[in-house]
Structure 1
Amino acid sequence: MKRHQYTHTAGCRTYGFHDLKDLMAKATPARSGDLLAGVAAHSAEERAVAQMALAEVPLATFLKEALIPYERDEITRLIIDTHDAPAFAPVSHLTVGDFRNWLLGDAVDSEALAALAPGITPEMAAAVAKLMRNQDLILVAKKCRVVTRFRNTLGLAGRLATRLQPNHPTDDASGIAASLLDGLLYGSGDAVIGINPATDNVPQVIRLVTMLNDIISQYAIPTQSCVLTHVTNTIEAINRGAPVDLVFQSIGGTEATNRSFGVSLDLLGEARSAALSLNRGTLGDNVMYFETGQGSALSANANFGIDQQTCEARAYAVARQFKPLLVNTVVGFIGPEYLFDGKQIIRAGLEDHFCAKLLGLPMGCDVCYTNHAEADQNDMDVLLTLLSVAGCNFVMGIPGSDDIMLNYQTTSFHDALYARRVLGLRPAPEFEAWLQKMDIFSKDAQFRLNPSLPPAFHKALLRLP
């Protein structure tokens, strides 16, 4: 695929960009990871000029000029080989700038964006995001609607789901069960009940999966479970007869990044087939759960000079291939080396959600930060609110916002309730009906929390394993 230089004149000065990769990196809003990688614009003026030059690039250019050569990267091959030309046709004549205007137009609705998704490459999505203000990212993402199903229905308009994350630093069953019960009593857990295991081996995975399956079965909860272990552990657990609902894996946007995670497209395909063979979904067969995050490619020394937001968008091509139930960006988890402060984390979260939704993914967000970042819970309140307005599929629910196993700050059960209350959002419909049946939520139109412990859970406090 051919490459050529890009130039743009501002006043009496002409700026040059080595190739499309360089142009996109220079057009990216400032963030510490791109500075660390040495690909960021040297000044605000250069960034603005790069954005003007990028706006003039035809969308079709991204099908001709690969950022990583086709023969060197299986993600590039996936993007090119699966591109849907008929879906792309309505916008094939547009430049990146024109595409931005088209997306923001009132004539473009959810149906048009759903039809377009297979025709958009990650690089196109990343490019147009670089030209958008935060409100643009919110407005367009709000119009995207991606619905998935396993034991309930996620992604419907007017709904906000949560991942109940009952992690424990020693995988203590009583501690996990206590956090799980706490989350359920606050209406959390419709996206998934997902545990990050402290001890990551196959016997422990089987023990945790079985525990979650027993709880879900005992209380007939219309949700799904997941132990966030390496995909090879999950495959082995399935082979040993474990009641696995969802297969989890962290993924990146380059073949080399995924190799550092110990995965490939073939391995992910094998895992999906294994999960499908169990036929555990009652409403649908979306069995995969992926997590991503800006900076993962750079941290693996596998970014090939590409800016971190574009690398992140390329990870969504991997996720899209396997029809997941859930995808989320763990947006501030990697640290301030990649997203320095609250402003950068907020911007990255909105970019990731927008790009994934534009590509047709059921995107959520772990609204989070590490303790050494220049951010606090007020920043997370802002991002949670903005993402909820933008139609984010799900967020995290953790006791007190503090993950005591992974040692980072995220969103609590109360935070999810806040977002639902202030914006009039509700849980997944099947889960909402269960919450009312169990007297956790009131049966009136207000969907208020029951102030007392529902009778069905009285004995649960005495039976914690």
Structure 2
Amino acid sequence: MPELTKPPSPDASPHASPYVSPCVSRYTARIDGRGYVFGDLRTVMAKASPFRSGDALAGLAAQSEEERMLARTVLADVPLARFLDEVLIPYEDDEVTRLIVDTHDPVAFAEIAHLTVGGLRDWLLGDAADTAALTRIAPGLTPEMAAAVSKLMRNQDLILVAQKCRVVTRFRNTIGLPGRLSVRLQPNHPTDDPKGIAASMLDGLLYGCGDAVIGINPASDDPAAIVKLIEMIDAFRQRYDVPTQSCVLTHVTQTIDAIERRAPVDLVFQSIAGTQRANAGFGIDLALLREAHHAALSLARGTVGENVMYFETGQGSALSADAHHGVDQQTCEARAYAVARAFRPLLVNTVVGFIGPEYLYNGKQIIRAGLEDHFCGKLLGVPMGCDICYTNHADADQDDMDTLLTLLCVAGVNFVMGVPGADDIMLNYQSTSFHDALYARRVLGLGRAPEFEQWLVKMGVTDADGHLERVPSAQRLLPAAHALLDERR
């Protein structure tokens, strides 16, 4: 990279970057006599982002690596407090912005209020930023601050800091403890066939998966069909006293309807985004989420806690809805975590490669996005998991998913997906399998949620050390699957 040259700046603060000019714009830099002017903080953020296809599609990406690095130089010297004064999406136009501003905790922020974005990076990587400190400052961070500092970090930096963050949640078991990795058992079926779903559930349980949630994406949006799926999972859970939670991942209005029908709803699911307009595209707003949250709490079905919400997100959702307001896709994604944080969820996961190569083109971009999302969510105090995935028309493969799975598990991800064979035959995308979770747990010495782990031993699925005992467990659980199918015929 060419050497940076210092522009004339007689009025500059002695603590300001020598490469940022106070003239014309406070977001100005020069290199080899050429000037770069970034019109506002939103532009600096977008230009500083690692390259990805979604930002290029939106016309927001830096036009060269030189421009990207100069934008990062400028961003590093932006005081954190400026994000409270210069919001990226106007307060009066967007309820997510209002949520971020109105719920900001100035007491928690005071500890880091003197820092710039670059100073925050240095502090996060230092020993002073231990788990207690990161938990303490989380309410004082805005999503834009988290997104900004992530743009200055290498992958190893994102992993190191995220590994120090701990967000523990509870419903029927405890998720997010150190040295643990939970798995969502995802037994989807293209026709919601009970036999197919039951077979996948049994397969996943025999691999020790399902402690995060047994969660089905329904093929139908028929209310009666959704209630049947809810009742089917709950019947199995109650019959064998499984210490986990169930969820049918339908629209929040369908779940409210199921609650009104007195269905045994554990968790309320909804896809969310980082702008009001993008959420409107999902058919939701904050008021509707509050209604669903209150409805789920009223059932009081949790045994060890009352975290009742499950949210999914993904970089590119705001752009695909033409609702990004000129904000880069990673910052929009971080803003979705402010929505999640407001409802104290049990689970949040970025479905990182699901939206397609228009937004994350290849394995390299998917890996980077997954680490960014996990870092930003954990830093903001959100219980982050990841659907480590890609669509079949992306320039990615299962080796890329192995890499991201390993990196996220080192970084302390709360949970990942467990899909039979890693191939979701209903949603038609590639994710991670029950075998992949076994690999991660074995290589990194990770346990399951403690309550679920004890149940697996009691049922003979694993021994006391967590190793699988497949033949005895099959003999114990196969009658359960047959009984479940007999009930649904």
TM-score norm. by structure 2 comes to 0.93
Identity, in percent, stands at 70
Aligned to 1:373: 394
Note if 1:205 corresponds to 2:210.
no
Output the CA distance in 2 between the equivalents of 1:325 and 1:423: 24
Aligned to 1:30: 51
Aligned to 2:203: 182
Output the CA distance in 2 between the equivalents of 1:220 and 1:451: 19
Aligned to 2:467: 448
Aligned to 1:101: 122
Query: Quick one: which of 222, 231, 236 aligns to 2:243?
Result: 222
Note if 1:92 corresponds to 2:116.
no
SS of alignment partner, residue 452 of structure 1: helix
Aligned to 2:4: none
Query: What amino acid sits opposite 1:269 in the alignment?
Result: R
- What is the correspondence of 1:25-424 to structure 2 with a 5 Å cutoff? 25-424=46-445
- What CA RMSD, in Å, does the superposition of the two structures yield over aligned residues? 1.0
Q: Could you report, residue by residue, the CA deviation over 1:168-208 in whole angstroms, capped at 9, with x for unpaired residues?
A: 00000010000001000000000000000000121111100
Which has the larger displacement, 263-272 or 12-21?
A: 12-21
Output the CA distance in 1 between the equivalents of 2:33 and 2:176: 50
Equivalent residues of 1:367, 1:384 under 8 A apart: yes
SS of alignment partner, residue 82 of structure 2: helix
Q: Could you report, residue by residue, the CA deviation over 1:110-166 in whole angstroms, capped at 9, with x for unpaired residues?
A: 010001000000000000000000000000000000000000000000000000000
Deviation at 1:451, TM superposition (A): 3.5
Query: What amino acid sits opposite 1:460 in the alignment?
Result: A
Output the CA distance in 1 between the equivalents of 2:339 and 2:258: 23
Output the CA distance in 1 between the equivalents of 2:87 and 2:378: 22
**Could you list the runs of 5+ residues in structure 1 that have no partner in the other structure?**
none
Query: What amino acid sits opposite 2:97 in the alignment?
Result: T
Deviation at 1:255, TM superposition (A): 0.2
Deviation at 1:463, TM superposition (A): 3.2
Q: Could you report, residue by residue, the CA deviation over 1:391-412 in whole angstroms, capped at 9, with x for unpaired residues?
A: 0000000100000000000000
SS of alignment partner, residue 395 of structure 1: strand
Equivalent residues of 2:25, 2:37 under 8 A apart: no
Deviation at 1:4, TM superposition (A): 6.2
Query: What amino acid sits opposite 1:214 in the alignment?
Result: A
Equivalent residues of 1:122, 1:359 under 8 A apart: yes
Output the CA distance in 2 between the equivalents of 1:174 and 1:376: 30
Equivalent residues of 1:162, 1:394 under 8 A apart: yes
Equivalent residues of 2:198, 2:481 under 8 A apart: no
Q: Could you report, residue by residue, the CA deviation over 1:318-363 in whole angstroms, capped at 9, with x for unpaired residues?
A: 0000000000000000000000000000000000000000000000
Query: What amino acid sits opposite 1:416 in the alignment?
Result: A
SS of alignment partner, residue 111 of structure 2: helix
**Could you list the runs of 5+ residues in structure 2 that have no partner in the other structure?**
1-23
Equivalent residues of 2:313, 2:349 under 8 A apart: yes
Query: What amino acid sits opposite 2:298 in the alignment?
Result: S
Deviation at 1:462, TM superposition (A): 3.5
Size of the alignment, in residue pairs? 461
Query: What amino acid sits opposite 2:118 in the alignment?
Result: G
Output the CA distance in 1 between the equivalents of 2:27 and 2:222: 50
Equivalent residues of 1:151, 1:283 under 8 A apart: yes
Q: Could you report, residue by residue, the CA deviation over 1:283-325 in whole angstroms, capped at 9, with x for unpaired residues?
A: 0000000000000000000001100000000000000000000
Output the CA distance in 2 between the equivalents of 1:393 and 1:459: 31
Which structure would you say has the larger Rg? 2
SS of alignment partner, residue 199 of structure 1: coil
Aligned to 1:462: 482
Equivalent residues of 2:274, 2:335 under 8 A apart: yes
Report the CA distance shift for 1:253/1:420 in structure 2 as closer, same or farther (over 3 A): same
Equivalent residues of 1:5, 1:20 under 8 A apart: no
Equivalent residues of 2:462, 2:470 under 8 A apart: no
Aligned to 2:7: none
Deviation at 1:453, TM superposition (A): 4.0
Q: Could you report, residue by residue, the CA deviation over 1:2-44 in whole angstroms, capped at 9, with x for unpaired residues?
A: x965101223222110100000000000000000000000001
Output the CA distance in 1 between the equivalents of 2:231 and 2:483: 16
Output the CA distance in 2 between the equivalents of 1:205 and 1:268: 19
Q: Could you report, residue by residue, the CA deviation over 1:24-74 in whole angstroms, capped at 9, with x for unpaired residues?
A: 000000000000000000001100000000000000000000101000000
Deviation at 1:372, TM superposition (A): 0.2
Output the CA distance in 2 between the equivalents of 1:324 and 1:408: 25
Output the CA distance in 2 between the equivalents of 1:197 and 1:188: 20
Equivalent residues of 2:350, 2:370 under 8 A apart: yes
TM-score norm. by structure 1 comes to 0.98
